[in-house]
């Protein structure tokens, strides 16, 4: 199956067609370091063509289509995606290096996302607003226009779905730019949109390098809104550039999320959940709970048990069904993760687990062992900066106020988890932690319907929720004079 589903070359997807234009580049397989496919990357010309195709498509029926019809196209898209789940999961696992089981789970979530927004299309309403003086006032929700959607490499298809589904539901057209390392499933998603009957040009997918071409896309006068997921630094640049034409912007950025273990926590559940919350997707998750903040009375016991469990995780070949943690995205990234671990130890942290490459993996592949740094000072670099790898820091606290202060003592505010049996404490701390999402006694985070997004430098705007639809619309107020006597304040 693998051989048939993988092509040797992928073109751009513009105006409903595969287009071999731009510059062909080799895309690699992170677990082996070997070439995976040739992929065309767009330059300015291709961005122009994609933006033009999207604007032309908006003049067609898509934005004004009966909502029920648009809903059916999205349900069809979800169904086609589900039918191709196994094939797409293998491609995603190979291209992103992630374990096959997690690629499958992400595609399943993408399917649910399209279903959620397919159901939402027919619920996107304006309102009537009471007015006196014979006036009728109501609002319309109109598609915002053509959106640039820029996604990272850590969840290539799922991030594309998070963005595409609400944009399509709202009646927008899209130029989707996947990350350079992982363009393949986004290109296939473009084809699946066409197969679902979404008109040509509504969805365009253009792999392109960030930097100059990313800037060009963000600044393009044919783009009305930019939704971006990626690093905080890149997000800042995107926002600056988008601000020149006052484009609408949604930013989903980095994180350094806390995982607070109180003294009364169910330690079995907390250990299992905390291991998952950091090491899922090899720690390359924006919402990875990368800072353990543990009450001093259970610190040693918790870490002892955490180490025991984390040691059992199977790291290796993404396509082996027994693998729990696959590869990192590249050897360069592996070196960066390792650099952080060395830095942490230099700053006084104790390396309790991991701290290097696992045995038995491909030499050119990018891998890193689940790593635990103990006795980490809350203000040290490893506890402040996003490492984006399988590395968790552990810090002690003695009072609830101290735990909250440590949790909030970073620039980010994306997610967090609290482990406690004390109901009052759970709700109190959930309110006190500055982040877009808090789990109580669960490591799970995003699901369709739950607003997902950041406080502080983790960005703004929410994805996956009903309100996300509003971020893809302009609100128009219509004021209608219905009284017999005309409005004539000047008495002319
Ligand atoms: P990145 O910022 O390097 O790249 C993200 C995307 O932006 C890529 O498609 C890249 O090509 C593009 N890009 C780069 N420069 C650009 C520019 N000047 N103009 C326009 N586009 C440009 O991020 P990454 O390394 O791919 O992804 C990892 C980061 O993403 C982490 O910080 C992670 O926390 C974050 N992330 C956040 C969320 C969330 O929902 N908050 C989800 C997933 C990942």
Q: Does one domain contain both 129 and 221?
A: yes
C-alpha distances in angstroms, 2 versus 12, 75, 94, 316? Answer: 22, 27, 10, 19
Average pLDDT of the chain, as a whole number: 97
- Same domain, yes or no, for 463 and 382? no
Both tokens of residue 156? Answer: 């290539």
398 and 296, same structural domain? yes
CA nearest ligand 1 atom 39, residue: 252
Positions marked active-site: 252, 286
Closest CA to ligand 1's atom 26: 152
Closest atom of ligand 1 to 208 CA is 11
- Is the per-residue pLDDT at 150 higher than 50? yes
80 pLDDT more than 50: yes
Specify the range with the lowest mean pLDDT, choosing from 1-5, 289-293, 486-490.
1-5
238 and 119 together in one domain: yes
Q: 319 pLDDT band (50/70/90 cuts)?
A: very high
Inside any domain, residue 446: no
Q: pLDDT value at position 32?
A: 98
Residue 2 has a pLDDT of 46
| % residues pLDDT > 70 (the chain) | 99
Tell me the pLDDT band of 165, cut-offs 50, 70 and 90: very high
Is the C-beta atom of 280 inside 6 A of ligand 1?
Answer: no
Q: Whose CA is nearest to atom 10 of ligand 1?
A: 210
User: Average pLDDT, stretch 116-138?
Assistant: 96
pLDDT of 176 strictly over 50: yes
From ligand 1's centre to the CA of 233, what distance in Å?
A: 9
pLDDT band at 4 (very low <50, low <70, confident <90, very high): very low
Q: Which DSSP string corresponds to 3-14?
A: HHH--SEE-EEE
In a domain, 406, yes or no: yes
Domain count, the chain: 2
Same domain, 352 and 473: no
> Which atom in ligand 1 lies closest to the alpha carbon of residue 454?
41
Is there a domain that residue 143 lies in? yes
pLDDT digit string (tens) for 346-355? 999 999 999 9
pLDDT on residue 109: 97
Q: Same structural domain for residues 225 and 316?
A: no
- Is there a single domain that holds both residue 328 and residue 220? no
Confidence grade of residue 3 (pLDDT, cut at 50, 70, 90): very low
**Which element (helix H / strand E) includes 361?**
none
Give pLDDT, residue 6. Answer: 87
Nearest-atom index, ligand 1, CA of 231: 32
What is the pLDDT confidence band of residue 63, given thresholds at 50, 70 and 90?
confident
pLDDT per residue as tens digits for the range 210-221: 999 999 999 999
Give the pLDDT confidence of 96-117 residue by residue, as tens digits: 999 999 999 999 999 999 999 9
Residue 436 and residue 303 share a domain = yes
Q: Is the CB of 180 under 6 A from ligand 1?
A: yes
- DSSP tag of 398: S
Residue 352 and residue 214 share a domain = no
C-beta of 149 in contact with ligand 1 (< 6 A): no
| pLDDT given for residue 478 in this prediction | 98
- Does the CB atom of residue 388 touch ligand 1 within 6 A? yes
Same domain, 285 and 321: yes
Domain assignment of residue 448, yes or no: no
In-domain check, residue 4? no
Q: What is the CATH number of the domain that holds 146?
A: 3.40.605.10
The verdict on 199 and 280 lying in the same domain is no
Question: Is 197 inside a domain boundary?
Answer: yes
Separation between Cα atoms, residue 193 and residue 203, nearest integer Å:
7
Whose alpha carbon is nearest atom 22 of ligand 1? 210
Ligand 1, atom 18, lies closest to the CA of 211
Element (H, E) at 35: strand 34-41
- pLDDT score, position 61: 87
Q: What is the pLDDT of residue 64?
A: 78
Token pair of 42 as six digits: 């767009």
Q: According to the model, what pLDDT value does residue 133 have?
A: 87
CA-286 nearest atom, ligand 1: 34
If we measure between CA atoms, which residue out of 10, 12, 30, 8 comes closest to residue 21?
A: 12
Ligand 1 near 91 CB (within 6 A): no
Residue 20 lies in a domain: yes
The CATH number for 346's domain is 3.40.309.10
Q: Is the CB of 238 under 6 A from ligand 1?
A: yes
Structural domain of 347: 258-440
Look at residue 449 and tell me if it is in a domain.
no
Indicate whether residue 456 lines ligand 1 (CB < 6 A): no
Q: Is the CB of 412 under 6 A from ligand 1?
A: no
**pTM for the full predicted model:** 0.96
Q: Is the pLDDT of residue 432 over 50?
A: yes
Ligand 1 close to Cβ of residue 231 (< 6 A): yes
Please check whether residues 216 and 279 belong to one and the same domain. no
At 39, list the tokens: 């992929």
**Which residue of 207, 210, 212, 252 sits with most ligand 1 atoms within 8 Å of its CB, as the best mutation to test the pocket?**
210
- pLDDT tens readout for residues 29-54: 999 999 999 999 999 999 999 999 99
What average pLDDT score do residues 405-427 get? Answer: 98
Compute, in angstroms, the gap from residue 215 CA to the centroid of ligand 1: 13
CA of 340 to the centre of ligand 1 (A): 20
At residue 22, what are phi and psi to the nearest 5 degrees?
Answer: 95, -145
Q: What is the pLDDT averaged over residues 139-149?
A: 97
- Cα 226 from Cα 167, distance rounded (Å): 11
Lowest mean per-residue pLDDT among 57-66, 69-78, 146-155, 344-353:
57-66
- Residue 12 Cα to ligand 1 midpoint, Å, equals 20
Q: What is the CA(274)–ligand 1 centre distance, in A?
A: 25
Environment class of 1 (CB within 10 Å of its CB; exposed 0-12, middle 13-18, buried 19+): exposed
Q: What is the pLDDT of residue 222?
A: 98
Element (H, E) at 191: helix 184-195
The reply to whether ligand 1 has any atom less than 6 angstroms from the CB of 218 is: yes
């Amino acid at each position: 199956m693998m051989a048939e589903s993988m092509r040797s070359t992928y073109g751009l997807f513009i105006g409903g067609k595969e287009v071999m234009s731009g510059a062909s580049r080799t895309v690699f397989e992170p677990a082996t370091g070997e070439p995976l496919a040739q992929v065309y990357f767009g330059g300015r010309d291709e961005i122009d063509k994609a933006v033009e195709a999207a604007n032309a498509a908006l003049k067609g029926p898509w934005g004004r289509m009966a909502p029920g019809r648009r809903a059916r196209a999205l349900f069809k898209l979800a169904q086609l995606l589900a039918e191709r789940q196994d094939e797409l999961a293998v491609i995603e696992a190979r291209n992103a290096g992630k374990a096959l089981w997690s690629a499958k789970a992400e595609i399943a979530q993408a399917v649910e996302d399209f279903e959620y927004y397919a159901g939402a299309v027919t619920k996107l309403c304006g309102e009537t607003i009471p007015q006196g003086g014979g006036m009728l006032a109501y609002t319309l929700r109109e598609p915002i226009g053509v959106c640039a959607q820029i996604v990272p490499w850590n969840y290539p298809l799922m991030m594309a779905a998070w963005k595409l589904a609400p944009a399509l539901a709202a009646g927008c057209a899209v130029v989707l730019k996947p990350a350079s390392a992982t363009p393949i499933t986004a290109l296939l998603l473009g084809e699946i949109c066409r197969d679902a009957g979404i008109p040509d040009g509504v969805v365009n997918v253009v792999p392109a390098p960030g930097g100059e071409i990313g800037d060009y896309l963000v600044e393009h006068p044919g783009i009305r809104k930019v939704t971006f997921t990626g690093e905080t630094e890149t997000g800042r640049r995107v926002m600056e550039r988008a601000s020149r034409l006052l484009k609408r912007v949604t930013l989903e950025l980095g994180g350094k999320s806390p995982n607070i273990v109180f003294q009364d926590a169910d330690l079995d559940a907390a250990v299992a959940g905390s291991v998952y919350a950091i090491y899922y997707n090899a720690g390359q998750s924006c919402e990875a709970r990368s800072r353990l903040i543990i009450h001093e009375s259970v610190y040693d016991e918790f870490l002892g048990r955490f180490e025991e469990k984390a040691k059992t995780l199977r790291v290796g070949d993404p396509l082996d069904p027994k693998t729990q943690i696959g590869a990192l995205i590249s050897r360069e990234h592996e070196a960066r993760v390792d650099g952080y671990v060395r830095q942490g130890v230099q700053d006084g942290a104790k390396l309790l687990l991991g701290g290097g490459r696992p045995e038995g993996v491909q030499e050119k592949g990018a891998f890193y062992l689940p790593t635990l740094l103990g006795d980490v000072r809350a203000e040290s670099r490893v506890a402040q900066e996003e490492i984006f790898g399988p590395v968790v820091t552990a810090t002690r606290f003695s009072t609830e106020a101290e735990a909250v202060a440590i949790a909030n003592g970073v620039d980010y505010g994306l997610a967090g988890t609290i482990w406690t049996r004390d109901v009052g404490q759970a709700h109190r701390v959930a309110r006190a932690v500055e982040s877009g999402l808090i789990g109580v006694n669960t490591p799970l985070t995003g699901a369709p319907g739950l607003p997902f997004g950041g406080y502080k430098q983790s960005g703004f705007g929410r994805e996956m929720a009903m309100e996300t639809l509003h971020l893809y619309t302009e609100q128009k107020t219509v004021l209608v004079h219905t009284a017999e006597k005309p409005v004539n304040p000047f008495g002319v």
